[in-house]
Amino acid sequence: MQAVSQTHSTRPLFIPVILGTVRVGRRSESAARVMTAELEKREGIETELIDIARLEIAADDEGETTKDPVFAAKMKRADALVIVTPEYNHGYPGLLKHVLDSCLQEYIHKAVGLAGVSAGVFGGTRVIENFLPVLREYGLVTIFWDVNFANAHKLFGEDHMLLNESSLPRIDQFLKELIWMAKTLRHGREHISLE
């Protein structure tokens, strides 16, 4: 049993980035690519960009009955999540909520961090505030750092990368906190019983 625990604790952390909108021309894609690129630079981290537009999620049902087995397997494997969500009229995209609702057990006691994207100056602050209770209901553990991509139409180039590096210190702090929480919670899931 101890050898199994050591194997699990030395494997890389898997922290996928979920791109939470399907709209054409979405600025959130650039933000999600930046977050993925920054995670890829970290030692001991595996990541993947999950675009909800490419998932096989039924729109004519709800909850776990709509589960995409590939997405569910990635959520089960994940040690933490980064969710990149645009702010649409102070809220999050309905399809993002629909996709996330398709899993439940897969999220419990895992860390999550939010990156908000908006055309305005607040950088998705209001969508993040609205999303926090939802994430708690899933059993996810939210970190206290967020990333806010304000004035998104001015932030990214044609290659989806940042036009300047002013957001990088905030992203760095966000990822340090997320990775610390992911390691801590993985240790807890593997070694500490709720009983």
Tell me which H or E stretch contains 148: strand 147-149
User: Is residue 52 assigned to a domain?
Assistant: yes
Residue 1 counted as domain residue: no
Assess if residue 2 is contained within a domain: no
Q: Whole-model pTM?
A: 0.92
Domain residue limits at 87: 11-191
- By mean pLDDT, which of 25-39, 153-167, 170-184 is the weakest? 153-167
Average of per-residue pLDDT across 5-28? 84
Binned at pLDDT 50, 70 and 90, residue 2 comes out as very low
Neighbours of 179 (CB within 10 A): 21
**pLDDT digits 0-9 by tens, 81-113:** 999 999 998 899 999 999 999 999 999 999 999
pLDDT in tens, 56-87: 888 888 888 889 999 999 999 999 999 999 99
> Which among 51, 32, 78, 94 has a CA at the least distance from the CA of 182?
78
Q: Is residue 6 part of a domain?
A: no
6-10, 37-41, 59-63: the lowest-pLDDT one? 6-10
Element (H, E) at 115: strand 110-117
Residue 108 belongs to some domain of the structure: yes
Number of domains the chain contains? 1
Task: Give 9's pLDDT tier (boundaries 50, 70, 90).
Answer: low
137 lies in some domain? yes
Is residue 4 included in any domain, yes or no?
Answer: no
Residue 126 belongs to domain with CATH number: 3.40.50.360
Domain assignment present for 148: yes
H or E segment to which residue 172 belongs? helix 168-191
